Structure 1
Amino acid sequence: MELMSRVERHKVSQSKLPTVLISLGTSVLFLAMIYFMLVYVQIPDSLAFRQTLQISLFFSSILFLGLYLLAFIFVSTKKFNQTEEKVARVNLYIVILWVLSLLYHFILWLAHDTVIIPYYYYGGLALTWGVLLLTLVHFFAYFSFVRRDIRAQAKANDLGNRRHAYEMLKRIFYMYQIIHELMNKDAEVKHMMKWNHFDEKLEQMFLEVEPYIHTLSFNREDLEHILGIKAWMDNLLMIIEQHPLHHDLYKKINM
């Protein structure tokens, strides 16, 4: 129990590590943006410029909010293999911040005659840049989630193909053994196999599937090849079954 709890704690800590790093990186980048704005960005005292700035930021907030909602409403309709689909949904906090941003700029635009302190405008820029940064981080997290989901789907498909291939290989080896036993016990079956060159074909088929024993990854061509060999051996057993002594052969094999 103690060992399991340690493993679980390790998994939880490993899963939280990327989130902590992203949050830390976002905070550092936001502080760097604030420093850059305060040191290098100068807002002129022109009333017309400040009005234009606020109305531009107002419509920019509306535009980014609309694009954000449209993007993640569309994304939320998709199905994912992973259970953690929260990152693929609209973040309510980001929506609220965009609404606050557009309201802030709209109110500041209306009150341009009374607001003369430039820090109000710097605060509006910081708010908009911060929400934009959070929006970009959400998109980045979503694309990372999609990449992990694609990898998980590929891994699941690979495991499914491997399981299906091994089941067919097991069936092929079993039928190969049955056919050889029949050839050793029944001279007529052996004669029929040699007369139609089925014995040579059988060995050729076996040599073709033998390398797949140590294969860990199977693509569609591999599965189709193995399936073709399995179908050929099934047909061969059905031919042998037509002999009066082996009329129930196929039924016994499938039991």
Structure 2
Amino acid sequence: MSRSRAEKYRSRRRVDSEVGRFWVLGLLFSLLVLAVEFFIEIPSNAPWLQDMEMALFSASFTLLAFYLLGLTFIFSRQEETGKVSHQVIIYVWLGAILFHLFLLISNISNQHVYKAGIILFLGPLFLTIYHFITYLSALREAQRESQLAAAVSNERVAYQLILEATKVHSEIKRLGEFYPEVEQMLKANDFYGKMERYILEMQQHLHAERFERKEMEMLEGHYYYLENLLTLVKQHPGIVESRLFTHREEQGK
């Protein structure tokens, strides 16, 4: 079955949003790489190089742990995890951790190697940020579509309840006109006024734009009241006796 035009539009808009987000983060990452490479000078024999690498190693390990915890939470909820392959991000983080560990145990005095360590930290960091932004965007879109589907379903059920209640009301009115004692019974027990008020309240919701849970419960309650009232009317002695008489006449023929 072909998708509707609205679904195609939402899918195209979602793809455009993801592509735009990817290019923005990619451009920002490229600018940071260029800034680190050409505008930051790292002294080869600076005493804080090992401390910097230790900080990058610890940060990479911690962020990888948080990323795995986030994936565990996502998978436990069985939600969409975004368009980025999480295995790739995990491997990149592991590569960055191994690179920082290599710099910690070695004694390399080349500033470009340490710049590469900074870039290897920023790379998986940006991928992680992009992944979770994509996931949150997909989750928000799924919630929006779910709410829209629920609203459409509520609207369909509400209109069906109003239609059925109108039919029940018409049947009660018809029986009341055909059997005057039924109408007298309804008015004597204050059923008639309540019935008219309920059907009026239900029909007023034909102009409603949205049906919340409160409105749905009200419509269902009014409909069940009218349905029970119709059952009570059909059990009226006058109607029962009339049906028995009609049945006997048909058997006599």
1:225–1:11 CA distance, 2 compared to 1 (3 A) = closer
| TM-score using structure 1 length | 0.84
Cα distance between partner residues in 1 of 2:10 and 2:201: 43
Q: Is the 8 Å Cα contact of residues 56 and 121 (structure 2) preserved in structure 1?
A: yes
1:11–1:231 CA distance, 2 compared to 1 (3 A) = closer
Structure 1 position 79, deviation (Å): 3.5
Q: Which SS does the other structure have where 1:138 is aligned?
A: helix
> How many aligned positions are there?
240
Q: 1:223 pairs with 198, 216, 241, which one?
A: 216
Q: Which amino acid aligns with 1:98?
A: W
- Give unpaired runs (5+ residues) of structure 1: 249-255
Residue 198 of structure 1 corresponds to which residue in structure 2?
A: 191
Q: Larger RCO: Structure 1 or Structure 2 (Cα < 8 Å, ≥ 6 residues apart)?
A: 2
Q: Which SS does the other structure have where 1:45 is aligned?
A: coil
Q: Which SS does the other structure have where 1:87 is aligned?
A: coil
Residue 63 of structure 2 corresponds to which residue in structure 1?
A: 64
Matching of residue 107 in structure 1 with residue 106 in structure 2: no
1:20–1:116 CA distance, 2 compared to 1 (3 A) = same
1:230–1:67 CA distance, 2 compared to 1 (3 A) = same
Residue 253 of structure 1 corresponds to which residue in structure 2?
A: none
1:183–1:136 CA distance, 2 compared to 1 (3 A) = same
Cα distance between partner residues in 1 of 2:229 and 2:9: 55
Structure 1 position 153, deviation (Å): 1.9
Cα distance between partner residues in 1 of 2:59 and 2:39: 22
Residue 145 of structure 2 corresponds to which residue in structure 1?
A: 152
- Give unpaired runs (5+ residues) of structure 2: 242-253
- For each residue in 1:91-140, what CA deviation from the matched residue of structure 2 results, as whole angstroms up to 9, or x when unmatched? 0110010001011111122221xx22211111110111111111111111
Cα distance between partner residues in 1 of 2:177 and 2:93: 81
Residue 24 of structure 1 corresponds to which residue in structure 2?
A: 23
Residue 86 of structure 2 corresponds to which residue in structure 1?
A: 91
Q: Is the 8 Å Cα contact of residues 69 and 90 (structure 1) preserved in structure 2?
A: no
Q: Which SS does the other structure have where 1:46 is aligned?
A: coil
Cα distance between partner residues in 2 of 1:121 and 1:49: 12
Cα distance between partner residues in 1 of 2:192 and 2:223: 15
| TM-score using structure 2 length | 0.84
